[in-house]
Amino acid sequence: MMERSFIVIALLMSAVSASLKPRGVDEKNLSLYRPDQPFQCFDKSKTYSFEHVNDDYCDCPDGSDEPGTSACPNGRFYCPNVGHRPKYISSMFVDDGVCDCCDGSDEQRTPGGESPCQNSCESLGRIAREAAERRRATMEQGHTLYKDYVSKYEAEIAEKREKLKSVEASRATADDEKKRLQTTKEEVEKLESEAKDTHQKAWDEQKKVILEQRDRQRAELAFDELDADQDGSVSTAELQHHLEFDVDGDGVVSDDEARENLEDPPNGAADRTHFHEKVWPHIKEVYRRPGSEHDTATAAPTEEPATVPSLPDEEEDEEEERRAEERLKEFRHRPHGRHHDNSREDHAKKHDDGDDADLKMPEYPEETKRLMDAADQARNAYEDARKAYDELDREYSELLSVTATDFGAAGEYYALRGQCFELEDREYVYKLCPFDRAAQKQKHGHHETSLGRFEAWRADATSGNKYAVQAYTNGEGCWNGPARSVAVKVQCGGENKLLTVSEPNRCEYAMDFATPAACSVPPPPIDHHSFWDHTEL
Ligand code: MAN
């Protein structure tokens, strides 16, 4: 109501003054156009009698003598636009038949005093005032939230700083504990490893003896079987019964093939010693026992004696074998070893049955087991301490980052931490997680492209505002170009909202982000007078 009566009064006043002032002149310049005084061009270059003002001839180089005609191409016409905002238009648009000012003052009235234009200033002014009201309400809301954000920061940051100190101390203690337990673990592991190695080495030696013994037994069996006439040597003729020695695959074992396999024995036949030393090493992989489908290495005999044949003419070997047996027995009968009858007979039988249980390493001795348990415990204790330290370290880094981040002059941006905001355009969904990262995801795809991580605030050069733009840098590399980056321009808004995203240069993105955090200044009340005090070109 107040507003309406104000406009009516203003319209009346402007009607009165219109008859006195030259056309197209701003109220505040009226004193420069005095009909009783010569007119001086604004640029002071020339002075004319007042008749030159608005005589439709351009006298002043700056066009100031023709504010109300189109005579000067560089002239400016002032539209008072009462009810809305006054504005300047180029004098080129004066009296051109098009209504440019909302009050129609740029077009000549008819001799009857009627304007060819409809005055739309009041309705346009209303729309503009309503929009200004809405803007103001938004800013008001934003400012209220801004104050909440600052309070939140103040309430939480002190706590975080305190927490940082205590976590830093616990982290240091946890680090000491971790190092202590690491040393213990390494010491016990050293003992464990030495004990295990000792056991393993002893076993390796025993296993070697067992394998050698088995090999000798196999050789003996093979010799006895190959020596068909039992004359104490294997002849080429005897070998020729074994087709596995048919090297060229022609179906028969030739003399040459037999001789070759017997490694050219001195008297044409291989005695036990020659067989053991020269022949067996070469044929053991090839030799098949009669009736056996398998290699002797795995073959299960059908009618072999359970005992290894005695070796009457090889006493030395027998003696050595006996010693090996003794050693094996001793190993097995240590307190930790497995207890079983380790007789040669049983051993041979087990082998013939294809049972390799003998070749499994015996259990570790009790003392070694105790060391292994102790090492397990030390490893577990260390692992627990490491996890505890890592957890504190993670908490410490997070607190350090929070307390070191610049959340604005009063910490107002702190409230945005940990939140993400999205905006969809035709092709992509853009994501902004303030103080963390920015990303771009194809609407119909899964791959998320990093547009950068928060680096720092960038000031606005014109306004000097330190908190104008957030820079996100070091995003995914652009093909044949730079790493992606984003400049996020913040503006006051009633709520947090990602407003626009663009890519002004390839892989350089720009976002507009509205946030209450940018509403540090309370909005001034709307001054309705400003609608026609204000001038703009
Ligand atoms: C993707 C998107 C675009 C970008 C090109 C550059 O398609 O990240 O925004 O311009 O890569 O190759």
Tokens describing residue 114 = 């009627």
Distance CA 66, CA 53 (A): 6
Does residue 95 contact residue 108 with C-beta atoms inside 8 Å? Answer: yes
Does residue 532 contact residue 80 with C-beta atoms inside 8 Å? Answer: yes
User: Pocket of ligand 1, candidates 429, 449, 484, 508: which has the most ligand atoms within 8 Å of its Cβ, to mutate?
Assistant: 449
How many angstroms does the Cα of residue 380 sit away from the middle of ligand 1?
49
Query: Is 504 near ligand 1, meaning CB less than 6 Å away?
Result: no
How many angstroms does the Cα of residue 490 sit away from the middle of ligand 1?
24
Distance CA 198, CA 424 (A): 68
* Three-state SS letters, 438-454: EEEEECCCCCEEEEEEE
Rg (CA), the chain: 52
Q: What is the pLDDT of residue 312?
A: 41
Q: What is the pLDDT along the chain (537 residues), one digit of tens a residue?
A: 445 555 555 544 455 444 567 999 998 999 999 999 999 999 999 999 999 999 999 999 999 999 999 999 999 999 999 999 999 999 999 999 999 999 999 999 999 989 999 999 999 999 998 998 999 999 999 999 999 999 999 999 999 999 999 999 999 999 999 999 999 999 999 999 999 999 999 999 999 999 999 999 999 999 999 999 999 999 999 999 999 999 999 999 999 999 999 998 888 899 999 999 999 999 999 999 887 754 443 333 333 333 333 334 445 555 655 665 565 555 555 444 333 333 433 444 444 444 677 889 999 999 999 999 999 999 999 999 999 999 999 999 999 999 999 999 999 999 999 999 999 999 999 999 999 999 999 998 889 999 999 999 999 999 999 999 999 999 999 998 899 999 999 999 999 999 999 999 999 999 999 999 999 999 888 766 555 444 443
Distance CA 243, CA 249 (A): 9
- 257's CB contacts (< 8 A; 6+ apart) are 245, 246, 247, 248
Count the residues in the chain. Answer: 537
Using one digit for the tens of pLDDT, what is the confidence trace for 122-151? Answer: 999 999 989 989 999 999 999 999 999 999
Query: Is 479 near ligand 1, meaning CB less than 6 Å away?
Result: yes
Using one digit for the tens of pLDDT, what is the confidence trace for 32-81? Answer: 999 999 999 999 999 999 999 999 999 999 999 999 999 999 999 999 99
How many angstroms does the Cα of residue 51 sit away from the middle of ligand 1?
65
Does residue 469 contact residue 455 with C-beta atoms inside 8 Å? Answer: no
Query: Is 97 near ligand 1, meaning CB less than 6 Å away?
Result: no
How many angstroms does the Cα of residue 478 sit away from the middle of ligand 1?
7
- Protein residue closest via CA to atom 9 of ligand 1: 507
DSSP string covering 493-512 = -SS-EEEEEEEEETTEEEEE
Q: What is the pTM of this model?
A: 0.63
- 100's CB contacts (< 8 A; 6+ apart) are 79, 89, 93, 106
- Protein residue closest via CA to atom 5 of ligand 1: 507
How many angstroms does the Cα of residue 440 sit away from the middle of ligand 1?
9
Tokens describing residue 468 = 């104008």
How many angstroms does the Cα of residue 507 sit away from the middle of ligand 1?
6
